[in-house]
Structure 1
Amino acid sequence: MADRIITEVDELKAVTHPLRVRMLGALRADGPATATELARRFDTDTGTTSYHLRKLARFKFVEEAEQRDGRERRWQASEPTTSWDSAALSVTAEGRAAVSVMRRHQLAALDRTISAYDAAQTDLPQEWVGAAGMSDLPATLTPRSLHALEERVIALIDEFVAADAGEPDARPVMLFYGGFPRIDPPGWDDVADES
């Protein structure tokens, strides 16, 4: 699923700007748009969105889309997904900071997704209410196994997307995956079991 894997700090920093990351997400989720359309969506001006689109284009996150007419410049995401190589980027403080910013953007996207779902839940068919959700699952894994698990999750997602292509009841779904080693707070062993 990851069509582009970022290994350079400058590339990742180009997309860490809050408006840029949201515009890129919108182009991926909703298809091509003009700077004017994006400005309306994100309550800013066309000059600002044009500037940020050019910055994203410089680093090949977006590209010009097929034009509907000669008067508008439409943009599209260059790839359906982007990920980054945390190990390669973590060798510098600047890289670690950029990765941290991107994780915060992912958390913000998760929060927006959950908030929108909560607001619309009463209007959704019950089968969607029953299918939606999230979990936190503790596991004891090696780094190798955690990496392999992520690859298998992505492959499984690709398999289900292909199987559901063209299904009349298929809808866009936001999927979030994360796996981090648990870092217990100092004094964790001293905390009494409250259960």
Structure 2
Amino acid sequence: MSTPLPRQGGDPDPGYTGIRLDTTALKVLAHPLRSRLLSALRRGGPATATDLATELNTNSGATSYHLRRLEAVGLVADTGDGEGKRRLWAAATDSHQYEPSDFAGDEDAETALNWLVRDYVRHLAEQFERWLDVEQTWPVEWRDAAGMGDTFVIATAEQLAQMRREVDEVVARYRRIGQGNPAARRMAVYEIAYPLDLDRAPRGGERG
């Protein structure tokens, strides 16, 4: 999964690592199997190509090839802990970051970014539906704590960026707060912001 760029002050969790996508890494990642491989390694931890092929319903030859492509741009790494030819792969970082402005004017990169963001939305829908499939088997306090909601704000681009910085800071403070507590569970937290008035794109020079 991707996350927004840290917007100020760095991350208060020094153990959390990220990589900023350049054009080459973006184009490598914008691929159906590669994006799933990276997500699987971040979610499930180190695994062999065979294990990943089984999980993602593909073949180990294709999996090995695409893992090497991801390795070449620093997104995954060979841990060196595999046995024989069974290399053990791991995500090289906890997250990847980018801003659309990083790729503005590069048509191929912008096309790749558009695909990657849409794939991210599909991933969100798939994962949240899996939760809905089993939600009623979880204790009610977890069902109350999890879930989703929406609202809207009226803000300038600068104010929206500031709001997202503050949300980032709150999430970062809670990132490992339950570590070591047997009652704690890993939780996915998504942040999405988009305009409601899609037909009212700001004119050039409009600033708050």
What is the TM-score with the length of structure 1 in the denominator? 0.87
3-state secondary structure, aligned to 2:175 = helix
Structure-1 residue corresponding to 2:63: 49
Kept in 1, the 8 Å contact 2:29–2:70? The answer is yes
**Structure 1 149/43 Cα, relative in aligned 2: closer, same or farther at 3 Å?**
same
In structure 2, what residue type is equivalent to 1:109?
H
Structure-2 residue corresponding to 1:191: none
Q: Distance in 2 between matches of 1:142 and 1:79?
A: 32
**Equivalent runs, 1:39-118 vs 2, <5 Å:** 39-118=53-132
Q: Distance in 2 between matches of 1:108 and 1:168?
A: 31
- Which among 133, 141, 156 is matched to residue 170 of structure 2? 156
Q: Distance in 1 between matches of 2:198 and 2:66?
A: 39
What's the RMSD between the two structures over aligned residues?
A: 1.8
Quick check: 33-42 or 143-152, which moved more? 143-152
TM superposition shift of 1:165? 1.5
TM superposition shift of 1:37? 0.3
Is 1:28 the counterpart of 2:24? The answer is no
- Which among 15, 18, 31 is matched to residue 3 of structure 1? 18
Quick check: 111-120 or 175-184, which moved more? 175-184
What is the TM-score with the length of structure 2 in the denominator? 0.82
In structure 2, what residue type is equivalent to 1:3?
G
User: What is the percent sequence identity of the aligned residues?
Assistant: 28
Q: Distance in 2 between matches of 1:96 and 1:118?
A: 33
Aligned length: 185
Note the alpha carbon deviations across 1:1-25, whole angstroms, 9 max, x for none: 671122x322101101011001100
TM superposition shift of 1:185? 4.5
Q: Distance in 1 between matches of 2:156 and 2:122?
A: 28
Higher helix share: 1
Q: Distance in 1 between matches of 2:129 and 2:195?
A: 27
Structure-1 residue corresponding to 2:31: 17
Kept in 1, the 8 Å contact 2:41–2:90? The answer is yes
Kept in 1, the 8 Å contact 2:34–2:66? The answer is yes
TM superposition shift of 1:33? 0.4
3-state secondary structure, aligned to 2:94 = coil
3-state secondary structure, aligned to 1:19 = helix
Structure 2: stretches of 5+ with no match in the other structure: 1-10, 12-16, 201-208
**Structure 1 47/71 Cα, relative in aligned 2: closer, same or farther at 3 Å?**
closer
